[in-house]
Chains A and B, each alone.
Chain A
């Protein structure tokens, strides 16, 4: 079906700026929190993912244009996490790097930024990535202890030092652990999604079906060897540890709801249809056509464009994880494209309900008219095109590493489909990743 009122497709102008190409990717299998990577730091895992990429594409000693990566949960010592990882990797020590953080959209944003630099001719190649560990999460001292310690370090006389120490109370010694709640609302991401899930009336069954499909598709991709050239084993892990190939709707139905327990509507969100806390890292190799040719690499896809949106969840205007719903139509309109032009739609499965709400909102005539300013529904996406090799519910979601996982996976799929088509028809994918703070990043990729 065609979205009514969408602008007619206009010819793309590739003359300027030039294309930025996805040349490959590499990640380590994702582990469950407290699992195989329990003692591995963010830097350890990012370096492992980088080294796997270097080995796969023969980049030993290479000076890459720039490496951009990030982590959501960072130790204060990790102020230069990506550069330190580069220094520890087999890349040339003359490879510059920078850290980026945009909550769960970090990974996708690093791809967008480096692709833009390549398109502008600022760099010829880049590695985008992300990493997160919930097992090795930073724990800080309490604010009061921190103030005492800081005052102590500034104190000059013994009297001043004693006075600072005298302010300490036993309770101040309790550590401060990172919270997953939104700073301005105090609600966890799950509780925020539960509000949106209830608003859209997403059923438990619909969510469990999305979760089941995610596990089945990811398992099938692993079994088919799809990830053989996208993943490097690490610390004894050769597959994503969260994957439950044998799960079923019956098993998922036995799980107790964990979010939305105090709402008027039945609680539907469980550990089975929500992403678990995960450790892992991912990388994506990007480059210009010239750089790809010089390195004898076959481009998989080009990064066409990206759009980021944000919503006002603080005042209850829209759901915390719905910004991608707003970003995608703006991005499509800019290119005169519709959802029907997307052969693949990748929606990060923060929760199964996030996917259901996103697709439901695009199908809703009323929502698209009143909230998106469209003439009618943006469109309906058949589930056969959504998250075709599984997504975060099955693979897990090491926050900043998810964008890189999705980009590398879907780029390979785009190239595979283009080759299978055997013609010049464009093959495209839309990616949407929601993030804390009411942010959503979307991007269009096209088979190279």
Chain B
């Protein structure tokens, strides 16, 4: 059987063992399980053991449906029109716990606790609407060396559930690739002196004075020059808690200064996908039904805080829109990305 979606990985997909979950798992429980697994992993590494390859599995959940109240809360928070079309970032919220379940497995080679979200690319092939049931399929791929550790891609595919509910029946409607970095874990040797551009992984240590951007030394990425802003986000101390409420992602680094401090951050930080989704909402209805929405995260946004933002049409060959968010005074970049119609 072949998947009709143009971006489906085909052969590689088939060699994965399929694990069908009864429903979308809770992120809170996955984090707890992942934290325990991370502890064991750190211990095993110390003795030169522990998994070094990605598990050859794909997790599948069938018949996932959005809840209207949940959708409305998400749309209101992120500045989206409360239409019946699911925003691309909302589908991420809906489906991503399935990918997290892969990362929480005992045989996942990177510690879930402390993973840094470097980049995200979502392709919305066809709009998904409230009331439509979807099948979610997620796996990990692309373990790669990074100058400070190892990166991995978590791929999530969402298909419209067929009338007979056969899995993987329809074409891919939505596909997300989330790139994470495990700092200090070096599983893949050599080759990756420059690491595919994700560049700044300041998620953990880089929140202090020294900026990883200038310290990267690779020189592959041009320094960020703050453009003329078109908007400004005033993000109060509750920003992380509000996004946690609509995303289910209650990672302590987002919730409060106290819980973030316990994990090494001076204050709580904004969810990356919160900021990227705000930029997508600002592009607005002009983005159309089918588009690729990508983001690269640099320095985390400390809460409370202001972000200077530019969202503007891209006159280059790529078309669509590009966006950037940066610290209004220091000019240090928080995120950059684009929205390109298909």
A: residues with CB less than 8 A from B are: 171, 184-187, 191, 195, 198-199, 262, 313-317
Contact = CB atoms under 8 A, between A and B. Distances in A.
Given A184-B79, A195-B230, A313-B230, 18 more contacts: A171-B238, A184-B282, A185-B230, A186-B231, A186-B233, A187-B229, A187-B230, A187-B232, A191-B232, A262-B329, A314-B231, A314-B282, A315-B230, A315-B282, A315-B283, A315-B312, A316-B228, A316-B230
14 contacts: A171-B238, A184-B282, A185-B231, A185-B309, A186-B234, A187-B230, A191-B232, A262-B308, A313-B230, A314-B231, A315-B312, A315-B321, A316-B228, A317-B313
B96 to A, nearest CB: 26
B312 A316 contact: yes
B328 interface: yes
B78 to A, nearest CB: 12
Contacts of B234: 186
Interface of B: 79, 228-234, 238, 282-284, 308-313, 321, 328-329
Contacts of A185: 230-232, 282, 309
B311 A316 contact: yes
Contacts of B328: 262
Contacts of A314: 230-231, 282, 284, 311
A315 B79 contact: no
A315 B281 CA distance: 12
A171 B232 CA distance: 24
A269 B310 CA distance: 22
Contacts of B230: 185, 187, 195, 313-316
A407 B245 CA distance: 51
**Which of B229, B309, B311, B329 gathers the greatest number of chain A CB atoms within 10 Å?**
B229
Nearest to A195: B228
**Which of B230, B232, B313, B321 gathers the greatest number of chain A CB atoms within 10 Å?**
B230
A37 B233 CA distance: 34
B79 to A, nearest CB: 7
B228 A184 contact: no
A199 B233 CA distance: 21
A313 B313 CA distance: 12
A185 B283 CA distance: 11
Nearest to B278: A186
Nearest to B329: A262
A186 B282 CA distance: 11
Contacts of A186: 231-234, 309
Nearest to B328: A262
Contacts of B311: 314-316
A186 B310 CA distance: 12
Given A262-B308, A316-B310, A316-B311, A195 B79 contact: no
A381 to B, nearest CB: 28
A194 to B, nearest CB: 10
Nearest to B76: A143
Nearest to B283: A315
A317 to B, nearest CB: 7
Contacts of A198: 228
Nearest to A187: B232
Q: Which 8 A-B pairs have the closest CB atoms?
A: A185-B231, A316-B230, A316-B312, A262-B328, A186-B232, A315-B312, A187-B232, A186-B231
A156 to B, nearest CB: 20
A146 to B, nearest CB: 13
A123 B231 CA distance: 44
B313 A315 contact: yes
Nearest to A198: B228
A195 B229 contact: yes
B18 to A, nearest CB: 41
Given A314-B284, A315-B313, A199 B308 contact: no
Nearest to B310: A316
Given A262-B308, A314-B284, A315-B321, A199 B228 contact: yes
